[in-house]
């Protein structure tokens, strides 16, 4: 019998997938057996999960429209493993977990949970999926959200699980930390001078992440350098002061080379990992007021309205204009805030406690 079987849309590179990798490894190490099912063919993080001794099943559905074709294998997996907790992740994973819970039989031996990772999603793109999820949510024992904004949004859209629980994403503060030697090394690799002020934005190209606003702001700040990391960024048309690196697996190195962490998201974020990871690396945060960004940043950085080019340019310019001493002081305050409130250990403890009580 497996303690927790996780059903996620796919195992590509993203914030939810990163949290799942870290969580399953930590819980497996604590003796709670884990199994992960990825509905789609995206499997970039599968090896990371398996390296921690966690079994992974990839169902290989090519799109949401053919997810039902993967259900027989998911049902067989659930019946064979008899999980104590059936944990969905994101909308498609949640719905698949619910359908499987209904069809697999022996519902009394397991608890159905959902994981909601977003907040104010764009209705034009996600409205039908959200409405369907709201209808199904009444059968869910616990809906975990990684942001208070996510709980508020889904309640307003008619989600009615038996219980909502807030569990913040957690940051590995030992991995994401300031490192002067690494700073010099990475800047040398990228051809960035030691005296340059550098902002980093780590996100795939997606309307949610709003690279357009960031690039427009950076075009107004020729003395500031920006690093973009994430799938699709390499194809963006960027100003001369922006380095677009494409997908990277070494974000901790890139953060170490920067001074400012920026999130320009327009909608949809719950708990933006990039903000917390950058703050843990002692970077000064500048973020749009989406999801729980304001709660994460506190008084250590600047929060601006989404899609505000002038506001973003002004905020980045103000941090760049600080003295080196003041910028480092603010960065250290940001790291201390993450260490006090948003560590990976704290997040894993919350999941372990929730699962143990189910």
Domains of the chain: 4-170+344-357 (3.40.50.2000), 180-341 (3.40.50.2000)
Report the distance separating Cα 251 and Cα 200, nearest Å: 10
- What are the structure tokens assigned to 50, written together? 């398996």
Rounded to two decimals, the pTM is: 0.93
Q: Kindly give the residue spans of alpha helices, DSSP state H, lying in 44-201.
A: 46-50, 67-81, 90-103, 123-136, 148-156, 180-190
Give the pLDDT band of residue 126 (cuts 50, 70, 90): confident
Q: Is the pLDDT of residue 69 over 60?
A: yes
Q: Which residue has the tokens 């870290």?
A: 22
Report the distance separating Cα 156 and Cα 212, nearest Å: 29
In sequence order, what are the residues at sequence separation of 6 or more whose Cβ sits closer than 8 angstroms to the Cβ of residue 265?
203, 208, 209, 210, 272, 287, 288, 290, 291, 293, 306
289: nearest Cα among 263, 326, 316, 310: 263
Report the distance separating Cα 8 and Cα 155, nearest Å: 22
For residue 158, the model assigns a pLDDT of 97
For residue 15, the model assigns a pLDDT of 82
pLDDT tens-place string over residues 103-124:
998 888 999 999 999 888 878 7
Q: Which residues pair with 229 in a beta bridge?
A: 202
Q: Which residue has the tokens 């999926």?
A: 129
Q: Is the pLDDT of residue 65 over 90?
A: no
Q: Which residue has the tokens 């590179």?
A: 13
| Phi-psi category of residue 96: left, alpha or beta, with phi > 0 → left and psi -120 to 50 → alpha | alpha
Report the distance separating Cα 13 and Cα 21, nearest Å: 11
Helix (H, G, I), strand (E, B) or coil at 247: coil
Summary mean pLDDT of the chain:
94
Give the pLDDT band of residue 254 (cuts 50, 70, 90): very high
Q: Are 261 and 200 in contact (CB under 8 A)?
A: yes
Neighbour-count burial for 243-253, b at 16+ CB within 10 Å, e otherwise: bbbeebeebbb
Report the distance separating Cα 178 and Cα 91, nearest Å: 35
Q: Is the pLDDT of residue 262 over 90?
A: yes
Q: Which residue has the tokens 């999960």?
A: 49
For residue 163, the model assigns a pLDDT of 98
- What is the pairing mode between strands 4-8 and 85-89? parallel
In sequence order, what are the residues at sequence separation of 6 or more whose Cβ sits closer than 8 angstroms to the Cβ of residue 296?
271, 272, 275, 276, 279, 285, 287, 342
In this predicted model, which residue has the larger pLDDT, 159 or 72?
A: 159
């Amino acid at each position: 019998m497996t303690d927790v079987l996780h059903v996620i849309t796919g195992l590509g590179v993203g914030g939810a997938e990163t949290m799942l990798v870290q969580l399953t490894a930590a819980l497996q190490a604590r003796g709670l057996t884990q199994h992960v099912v990825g509905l789609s063919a995206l499997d970039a993080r599968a090896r990371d999960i398996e390296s921690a001794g966690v079994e992974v099943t990839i169902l290989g559905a090519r799109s949401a429209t053919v997810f039902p074709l993967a259900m027989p294998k998911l049902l067989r997996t659930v019946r064979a493993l008899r999980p104590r907790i059936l944990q969905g992740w994101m909308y498609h994973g949640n719905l698949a977990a619910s359908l499987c819970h209904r069809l697999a039989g022996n519902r009394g031996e397991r608890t159905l949970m959902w994981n909601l990772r977003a907040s104010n999603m764009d209705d034009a793109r996600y409205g039908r999926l959200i409405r369907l999820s709201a209808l199904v949510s009444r059968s869910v024992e616990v809906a975990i959200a990684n942001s208070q904004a996510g709980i508020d949004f889904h309640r307003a859209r008619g989600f009615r699980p038996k219980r909502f629980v807030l569990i913040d994403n957690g940051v590995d503060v030992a991995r994401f930390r300031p490192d002067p030697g690494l700073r010099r090394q990475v800047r040398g690799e990228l051809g960035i001078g030691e005296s340059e002020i550098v902002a980093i934005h780590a996100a795939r190209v997606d309307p949610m992440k709003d690279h357009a606003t960031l690039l427009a702001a950076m075009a107004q700040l020729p003395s500031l350098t920006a690093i973009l990391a994430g799938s699709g960024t390499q194809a963006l048309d960027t100003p001369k002061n922006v380095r677009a690196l494409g997908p990277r697996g070494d974000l901790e190195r890139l953060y170490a080379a920067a001074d400012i962490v920026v999130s320009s998201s327009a909608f949809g974020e719950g708990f933006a990992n990039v903000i917390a990871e950058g703050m843990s690396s002692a970077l000064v945060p500048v973020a749009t007021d989406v999801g729980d960004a304001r709660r994460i940043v506190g008084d250590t950085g600047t929060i601006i309205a989404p899609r505000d080019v002038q506001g973003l340019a002004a905020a980045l310019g103000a941090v760049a204009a600080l003295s080196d001493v003041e910028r480092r002081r603010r960065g250290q305050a940001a790291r201390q805030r993450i260490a006090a409130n948003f560590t990976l250990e704290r997040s894993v403890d919350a999941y372990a406690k929730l699962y143990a009580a189910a």
